[in-house]
Amino acid sequence: MCLGIPGRVVETFIEHDVMMGKVDFGGVFKQVCLNLTPDAEVGKYVIVHVGFALQVIDESEAEKVFEFLQHMDDLQELRAGEEDANVEGAP
């Protein structure tokens, strides 16, 4: 359910007393209702579903999975390093 895609707010305006905006989805622009995301300003990314921004994307949270993967890589290297050390230490 619930196709939602990220886009960047490029303009905000009021229509029928409701906050609306123009959102850039990678070169495709669409009018979107920003009423549910009062903190959506120009330049911020929002998740849009059926013409409504649901949430402003938390950019620091968005990085965490990649930090986690980097951390895993580091662990892997560490472990590999330890194994190498063990091999070297073997008689």
Partner 1 sequence: MPPIADFDQMSCPTPRRQHERVLLGHGSGGKLSADLIQRVFLKELGNDVLSSLEDSATLALGSLEPAVDDARSGPRIAFTTDSFVVKPLFFPGGDIGKLAVFGTVNDLAVVGATPLYLSAAFILEEGFEIELLRRIVISMRHACDQAGVTLVTGDTKVVDRGKGDEVFITTTGIGLHAANHALSIRNARPGDQIIVSGTIGDHGMTIMSTREGIEFETALQSDTAPLNDLTRAMLDACPSIRVMRDPTRGGVSSTLNELATASNVGILLDEASIPVRPEVHSACEMLGLDPMYVANEGKLIVVVAEQDCQSLMKVMKQHPLGRDAAVIGNVTADHAGMVVMRTLVGGQRVVTMLAGEQLPRIC
Partner 2 sequence: MKFQAEYRDLVAAKKLQRAIGEIVTQPWTIMEVCGGQTHTIVRYGIDELLPDEVELVHGPGCPVCVTPLELIDKAIEIASCDDVIFCSFGDMLRVPGSRHDLFEIKASGGDVRIVYSPLDCLKVAEQNPDRTVVFFAVGFETTAPANAMAVWQAKKRRIDNFAVLVSHVLVPPAMESILSSPNHRVQGFLGAGHVCSVMGYEDYEPLATRYQVPIVVTGFEPVDLLEGIYRCVRMLEQGKIGVDNQYARAVKREGSRVAQGLIKEVFEVTDRKWRGIGTIPHSGFRLRSEYERFDAEQRFAVGDVQVRESSKCISGMVLQGIHKPHECPAFGKECTPEHPLGATMVSSEGACAAYYNYGRLLESHQPSCSSTLAGKPAIVPLPTD
| Phi and psi based region of residue 10 (left: phi greater than 0; alpha: psi -120 to 50; beta: remaining) | alpha
Calpha distance 45→62 (Å, rounded): 11
Residue whose pair of structure tokens reads 């190498």 in the numeric block: 84
Q: Which of the residues 41 through 60 are near partner 2 (CB under 8 A)?
A: 45, 47, 49-52, 54-55, 57-59
Looking at beta carbons only, is 73 or 84 nearer to partner 1? 73
CB of 46 to partner 1, least distance (A): 13
Q: Is 5 in the site for partner 1 (CB under 8 A)?
A: yes
CB of 88 to partner 2, least distance (A): 25
Q: Is 13 in the site for partner 1 (CB under 8 A)?
A: no
Give the amino acid at 55: Q
Q: Is 22 in the site for partner 2 (CB under 8 A)?
A: no
Calpha distance 19→26 (Å, rounded): 22
